[in-house]
Amino acid sequence: MEVVIVADAKAGGELVAEAMARLLRRKPDALLGVATGSTPLPVYEALAAKVRAGAVDTSRARVAQLDEYVGLPADHPESYRSVLRREVLEPLGIPVDAFLGPDGTAEDVQAACERYDRELAEAGGVDLQLLGIGTDGHIGFNEPCSSLASRTRIKTLTEQTRVDNARFFDGDIGQVPHHVITQGIGTILEARHLVLLATGEGKAEAVAATVEGPVAAVCPASALQLHPHATVVVDETAASELKLADYFRHTYANKPEWQGL
């Protein structure tokens, strides 16, 4: 696992956007796995700026969704499908038919989950999966004690995650669904490159458990330690609990330029 400590959220966004741009230059029809939440927004903004400047072409790029609320109609403004359309597809000029996502309104949710895993595999797999992290160490919506081998399935949110996400629902926790579909941890680990971005002091404990703690289902993000190409990009505040921070700084400062992220 590579850990990159950046000054702030903007620098993290720029670094990850550049990794995506490099991928798209090498593989124009790359399948980008995208995450929701506040953390990835600087990435999407930086990538959109590169598209506008003609520095990268996203016209053949494909996008895959990480997770979704169960029961919110697809056109609900806070369904992750709507959020990603607004925050990723439109600013990057990626057509809706290049978007893969699970159906959060399916009558048979389990069948919808299995179908989504099949669709991801048939699309050739995710090339780069961008991940945020919950304050409890969740990735996607894989809450603590999710199986590290799990596939896409329905999950129940913890009260903490519903509280954290209430800000997207007018601060009203009553509007936050209890159930979600999420790519499983086993599914996420199949992406070729995992990039976890974490910013802000609120993530410091979860980041330390992810990077320096044991691989344990109680911290789902610690599964990144099992992946051959995982990059954790953190700002100074999210890195504040890392015991090996100086080592990570030294390693990145001395990294050969050609290696990229």
Ligand X SMILES: N[C@@H]1[C@@H](O)[C@H](O)[C@@H](COP(=O)(O)O)O[C@@H]1O
159 or 246, CB closer to ligand X? Answer: 159
Q: Segment 162-221, which members bind ligand X (CB under 6 A)?
A: 165
Which residue of 66, 128, 181, 223 would you call a contact of ligand X, by CB under 6 A? Answer: 66
58 or 199, CB closer to ligand X? Answer: 199
Residue 169 Cβ vs ligand X, minimum distance, rounded to whole Å: 13
Stretch that binds ligand X, among 12-20, 132-140, 204-212, 245-253 (CB under 6 A): 132-140
Whether 109 contacts 177, CB under 8 Å = no
Residue 37 binds ligand X (CB under 6 A): yes
Sign of the Cα pseudo-torsion (243, 20, 200, 227, in order): negative
Which residue of 18, 67, 87, 127 would you call a contact of ligand X, by CB under 6 A? Answer: 67
| Residues binding ligand X: number (CB under 6 A) | 14
Buried b / exposed e across 37-57, counting CB within 10 Å, b at 16+?
Answer: bebbebbbebbbebbeeeebe
Farthest-apart Cα atoms in the chain, separation: 53
250 catalytic residue (yes or no): no
138 catalytic residue (yes or no): yes
Catalytic-role residue among 127, 143, 164, 235? 143
Of 64, 36, 68, nearest in space to 157 by CA: 68
Of 152, 158, 150, 125, nearest in space to 229 by CA: 125
Instruction: Summarize as ranges the residues that interact with ligand X (CB under 6 A).
Output: 35-39, 66-67, 132-134, 140-141, 161, 165
